[in-house]
Amino acid sequence: MKLIAVDLDGTLLDSDGKVTPENGQALKKFNQQGGIVALATGRSIQSAREVFAELKLSGYTLASNGAYVARIEQGEIAEVLKNYTIPADTVKTALSFAMEEGVTVVASRATQDDRINFAQDHNEVDSPYYAQFNLQESRVEDLWEKVENGAISYFKLAFTDGNTSKLVKLRAKLEKAQINSSYSDKYWLEVMAEGINKGAALNFLTKYLTVDLSDVLAIGDQENDLEMLEISGTSVAMANAAPAVKQLTDRLTTSNNDSGVATILNEYLN
């Protein structure tokens, strides 16, 4: 394998949002043996950069579910290869639906995440997934005009609520409006620009690096990993993965709390 594309939450990171020592060591060894590490995550570019800094590794990130593709060197963004923002009309439509359903929205820019509390879910505030965001509390009235005139733009909209039936209803409205969405977690439904996902970003990155997709090992656990797993030469699901992910992939590894990335990656290391 020449490149590993690995998801973060529920995959490389354990339930506390940490990289286990075993996973870190395996990625470092893969890199030392000439392998390319790509972190493919729903998290922001800043959060992905911080994981690279913690690992003391350089590589690539497909952040915000592939909306932001960059090269990371020594824990810093060395080069932005591609980025895709969501059209203003799509943002406004999605925010309107979120207001109707009473869910919380986290709208991600490159360096900041605007949280709009249509209905704050206190159960999620302290979760590891929430901890990734550089949050600024915002009012939709303050953002509306800025979105419309292009003063701000977003790579990803994330909708969350402890009542998952709200997210199901929201997704149905988005689908009716021809806005694609995917789950990155049971409590997180996410929207990017049309046609943007981890698979599209991985396809772009492999062409940029002249790496064949057959030489890619991809590992994930949730619906937002499906496109990436489908196009990779070897696809691996975590033991804690969603059923749809397990059905699609070639292999199954141990859970994120049992260093499942290291479990599978060590098979390819000398």
The pairing of strands 156-160 and 188-191 is: antiparallel
What residue ranges of the chain are covered by domains with CATH 3.40.50.1000?
A: 3-83+196-268
Task: Look at the domain 88-191 and name its fold.
Answer: 3.30.1240
What residue ranges of the chain are covered by domains with CATH 3.30.1240.10?
A: 88-191
Task: Print burial letters for 145-173: b (CB count within 10 Å at least 16), e (below 16).
Answer: eebeeeebbbbbbbbbbeeeebbeebbeb
Domain made up of 3-83+196-268: CATH architecture: 3-Layer(aba) Sandwich (3.40)
Whole-structure pTM over 0.85, yes or no? yes
Structure-block tokens of residue 14: 């354990």
Sequential pLDDT tens for the chain (270 residues): 999 999 999 999 999 999 999 999 999 999 999 999 999 999 888 889 999 999 999 999 999 999 999 999 989 999 999 999 999 999 999 999 999 999 999 999 887 889 888 875 554 545 666 666 777 788 888 888 888 888 899 999 999 988 899 999 999 999 999 999 999 888 899 999 999 999 999 999 999 999 999 999 999 999 999 999 999 999 999 999 999 999 999 999 999 999 999 999 999 997
How many whole angstroms separate alpha carbon 108 and alpha carbon 159?
11
How many whole angstroms separate alpha carbon 53 and alpha carbon 49?
6
